[in-house]
Structure 1
Amino acid sequence: MDTNSTGQYNVVDARSVTEEFDKLFDKIFENKSNISVGDALRYEGWNPDTLLKQIVEWSKFNYFYATTSDRSSLPLLIAEYDQYKFEGESDFMVTDQRGYVSIAHCIAEPISNRIELGAVVTSIDWNDECFCAHVAGQGRVCGDYGITTFSIGVLQNFLENGQFNGTLSRRKIDAIKYSEMAVYHSISVGFPSSFWNTNTDIIYRTEARLGYYPVIDTSGKGIPGSPAIVLMAVTGDEAKRVSGLTKDEIYDEIMDVMRLWYGSDIPNATDIEYYDWYSDEFYRGMFSNIPLNLTLEEKENLAVPEGRLYVSGEGVMVYSTGTVHAAYCSGIDSATDILEKKGLSERSTFLPKCEDKTTPPSSAYSMRMSLITFIMTLFSLFLLLL
């Protein structure tokens, strides 16, 4: 916990509670029951009966999954963590001024004339012979196979609105219905100058209302020439509430929090920047997560093709849910499958390989897709995670 300028909050050493949570969290991976992460933690002895324990759990779980442990599936969590055996757990901050999306631009450059941006697909249909996408203002675009890289949220909208005009199996319908998009807002708040403790990277605030702007992230301070910017994060139900506010209303709430912590004399923020992924009809959330109502088998079924229709993207991957490299691997997997079905398997040899020998077998790794679609998937996810 961080010392605060107003002196009205107690400073608490949370290391013992954090170590307790980490120890119990490691133990839940031995539990093979089909239960929630929260139930598994309680089984091991975790009891978040204090505000400090609640904020520790929030910072260790909600912060990364944008939902609570009680709403999250233990089997899906375990399957996802298997990937860290060979990918590692390190996180890195991108400081390239061109932005993370520049990587996608570079990869896509050789085929940029074959990628059409800004086109809106209103519905899709397929049969045993071909696949067609209905594009607003352009009519039908057809091919031998069709690959969607829509987010889980968009797939759910297509399903609800009858925009899938083909035969979907019950298992595919259930897999889409029971999947879930995480709602997460990362809000950048700019100030004319820094006034916070420069010896602290992240401040976690304990409030009676858990999840109300609980994080003040000043980790950008170590970057040379870094401006006076802090990051505020809200997740889950609180993020959905924030999505319904205006920018001015969010600004006022954030300034109230900053003044409570640092005093009434701090300068006004110069601006706040965020993107409302939840309200955007082309995303309906920030990334997919591990909902309690979704089984591991149903998650794997997301990647199983339905005749000429392939579903790809980070949301269909079991072992790297919610990440850019999940989209990357999903595209590569599906590329190989389609090339093989078209009798062009030799063309797949130039594709990088994602599957590791230590990875448990899964239909999510058996599906393949075209290189172009893999790049489009990457492009969508890079934009999604900016």
Structure 2
Amino acid sequence: MEAILFTTVLLLASHVLLAAAAGPSVIVVGAGFSGISAAKTLSDAGITNIVILEATNRIGGRICKVAFAGINVEKGANWVEGVNGNAVNPIWTFSNQLGLRKFRSDYSNLSSNTYKEEGGLYGAAEIQSVIDTGDEVYDAGEKYSKSLSNSGFGDISILASQRLQNHAPSSPAEMVVDYYNFDYEFAEPPRVTSLQNTVPLPTFANFGEDVYFVADQRGYETVVHNVANQFLKTSKDGTIVDPRLILNKVVRVIEHSPGGVTVKTEDGAVYKADYVIVSVSLGVLQSKLIEFVPRLPEWKILAIYEFDMAIYTKIFIKFPYSFWPTGNGTQFFLYASERRGYYSIWQHFEREYPGAHVLLVTVTDDESRRIEQQPDSATKAEAMEVLRAMFGKNIPEATDIFVPRWWSDRLYKGTFSNWPIGVNRYEYDQIRAPVGRIYFTGEHTSEHYNGYVHGAYLAGIDSANILIRCVKTGNCKYIVKAKDADD
């Protein structure tokens, strides 16, 4: 493709052109990990005429630290998932290079740390039997999954696979173990999650089954800054000062034609370029925040709407002192309510944040939506009721609570993507497929690692390389295999 030379920067009223530079110009919408990764990949390939438009006042997207009760905690992504396997997770490499403070999460003693709804612990043998049954059903599901055609037409939900083994979790103990096994990972229940594309899960099959909790006061977002600093200009204190990164720019319109793209932001600014890479979340693509002109083709819209944007809410609660069991084998504990997913999974931070007296409880899906719509005081009262059922009525009152609201935030509309039943890998490939001069990236475009930090990073590289191939070789065709293809 013939390069276009921009010779001036035009700024008249709200009309802005990209900076003068040889080569094609690219606008990257979003400075999350995928957007930063894509921009660096373009830069490494010699495509440096880039503008990154970020809606917030920071880079990192859903990797975000917040100050809470005297410490920094992670509002979004928190773990390096997939460690100590045959292949090395690139995020594990980054975290080690940066010396991030992190701790291996040990879930092995859940059978001794599962609480009844009416109070008291279950017997370890009873819960271990539930866990063992779940593992057997999972193994049978994995065997079934591997027998399915690559076309994806034989795919079933995880729940359907369980039912094939005459297993449908129904008791509080069964439901909380099932919730830990699936909802805690995918943020949606087994009835909607694809078996073939999650069992076995490529992240753990390829990178290893260990997970490490990041508890560094610099924030997990340090890994994003590390990548950004490799191609964006920074000051001596590490602050990004590169004019190609423009913060607080909410993109509302993307116009596209065979001749180029025009991006309009909420404040009235207009940016023109040869190409645009859209790295907003799947939830934003499913919303009306960004208008595409002309409208995206039906196949693209359908692919975007068929995939799921899940909600995973980590609620941090501060106490004047610790009243829960501590020591080896106590970090994670479960609450087995008859209401599936009701404040089910708890974690203390004896190692991660010593002396902080903070608990983390995780909720997902409908519970996340419900909690986001009520005041934090109501959430604190509900959590306290659960904790009093577990540890007695004389425990201290919580002094502070932090409840993220990813679903309510128009700039995210959820936490991460989940692969639902009914979407095969070829339909999924349409999510990543370019539309003319519009390219797409994000964790939701990673075929094998959607929903993960490493998926976001690798997706940025992959999507940028598709654009680089188009620019450098003139091969701009992106082929999506037929739905019934078996290879």
Would you call these one fold, judging by a TM-score over 0.5? yes
Matched letter for residue 122 of structure 1: R
| C-alpha contact (below 8 Å) 2:114/2:333 kept by paired residues | no
- 1:25 aligns with 138
* Cα separation, partners in 2 of 1:335 and 1:264, compared to 1, 3 Å: same
2: CA distance between counterparts of 1:173 and 1:321? 19
RMSD: 2.4
> How far off is 1:7 after superposition?
9.0
> How far off is 1:49 after superposition?
3.3
Deviations 1:67-98 (A, max 9, x none): 110111123224x7235333222211112111
2: CA distance between counterparts of 1:167 and 1:252? 46
- 1:151 aligns with 281
- Counterpart of 1:76 in 2: which secondary structure? coil
> How far off is 1:282 after superposition?
0.5
| C-alpha contact (below 8 Å) 2:316/2:360 kept by paired residues | yes
Residue ranges of structure 1 left out of the alignment (5+ in a row) = 346-361, 365-386
Q: Pick one of 457, 463, 466 that aligns with 1:334.
A: 463
- 1:235 aligns with 364
Matched letter for residue 116 of structure 1: I
> How far off is 1:287 after superposition?
0.4
Q: Pick one of 82, 92, 95 that aligns with 2:215.
A: 95
Matched letter for residue 19 of structure 1: D
| C-alpha contact (below 8 Å) 2:286/2:304 kept by paired residues | yes
Deviations 1:80-129 (A, max 9, x none): 72353332222111121111112212221241412112110011111112
What TM-score do the two structures reach when normalised by structure 1? 0.83
The 5 Å alignment of 1:115-194 reads 115-158=245-288, 163-194=291-322
1: CA distance between counterparts of 2:206 and 2:194? 22
* Cα separation, partners in 2 of 1:6 and 1:185, compared to 1, 3 Å: closer
> How far off is 1:238 after superposition?
1.1
Matched letter for residue 166 of structure 1: P
Aligned residue pairs: how many? 344
- Counterpart of 1:157 in 2: which secondary structure? coil
| C-alpha contact (below 8 Å) 1:312/1:330 kept by paired residues | yes
Deviations 1:284-314 (A, max 9, x none): 0000111224332221110111110111000
Larger deviation: 271-280 or 130-139?
130-139
Matched letter for residue 171 of structure 1: W
| C-alpha contact (below 8 Å) 2:171/2:338 kept by paired residues | no
1: CA distance between counterparts of 2:398 and 2:471? 57
The 5 Å alignment of 1:198-217 reads 198-199=326-327, 200-217=330-347
Q: Pick one of 84, 108, 111 that aligns with 2:228.
A: 108
* Cα separation, partners in 2 of 1:143 and 1:329, compared to 1, 3 Å: same
| C-alpha contact (below 8 Å) 1:6/1:263 kept by paired residues | no
1: CA distance between counterparts of 2:398 and 2:116? 17
Deviations 1:124-150 (A, max 9, x none): 111112112111224221111111011
- 2:197 aligns with 76
* Cα separation, partners in 2 of 1:283 and 1:8, compared to 1, 3 Å: closer
Deviations 1:201-227 (A, max 9, x none): 111111121211112212x21237341
> How far off is 1:162 after superposition?
7.3
- Counterpart of 1:59 in 2: which secondary structure? helix
1: CA distance between counterparts of 2:374 and 2:394? 26
Q: Pick one of 271, 275, 288 that aligns with 2:417.
A: 288
Q: Pick one of 364, 370, 374 that aligns with 1:245.
A: 374
- Counterpart of 2:191 in 1: which secondary structure? helix
2: CA distance between counterparts of 1:144 and 1:170? 23
* Cα separation, partners in 2 of 1:224 and 1:166, compared to 1, 3 Å: closer
Give the number of the structure whose residues are more often helix, by fraction.
1
| C-alpha contact (below 8 Å) 2:346/2:359 kept by paired residues | yes
| C-alpha contact (below 8 Å) 1:204/1:215 kept by paired residues | yes
- Counterpart of 2:264 in 1: which secondary structure? strand
Tell which structure's C-alpha radius of gyration is larger: 2
- 2:113 aligns with 2
What percentage of residue pairs aligned between the two structures are identical?
A: 30
Matched letter for residue 178 of structure 1: E
Matched letter for residue 11 of structure 1: Y
1: CA distance between counterparts of 2:290 and 2:419? 25
> How far off is 1:231 after superposition?
0.5
2: CA distance between counterparts of 1:86 and 1:181? 24
Give the number of the structure whose residues are more often strand, by fraction.
2
| C-alpha contact (below 8 Å) 1:5/1:263 kept by paired residues | no
* Cα separation, partners in 2 of 1:46 and 1:5, compared to 1, 3 Å: closer
Matched letter for residue 184 of structure 2: Y
- 1:38 aligns with 159
Matched letter for residue 124 of structure 1: I
2: CA distance between counterparts of 1:83 and 1:149? 21
- 1:375 aligns with none
| C-alpha contact (below 8 Å) 2:193/2:419 kept by paired residues | yes
Matched letter for residue 214 of structure 1: S
- 2:431 aligns with 302
Larger deviation: 224-233 or 309-318?
224-233
Deviations 1:329-371 (A, max 9, x none): 11111222222322289xxxxxxxxxxxxxxxx969xxxxxxx
What TM-score do the two structures reach when normalised by structure 2? 0.66
- 1:15 aligns with 128
2: CA distance between counterparts of 1:293 and 1:104? 33
Residue ranges of structure 2 left out of the alignment (5+ in a row) = 1-111, 149-153, 233-239, 482-487
2: CA distance between counterparts of 1:162 and 1:96? 34
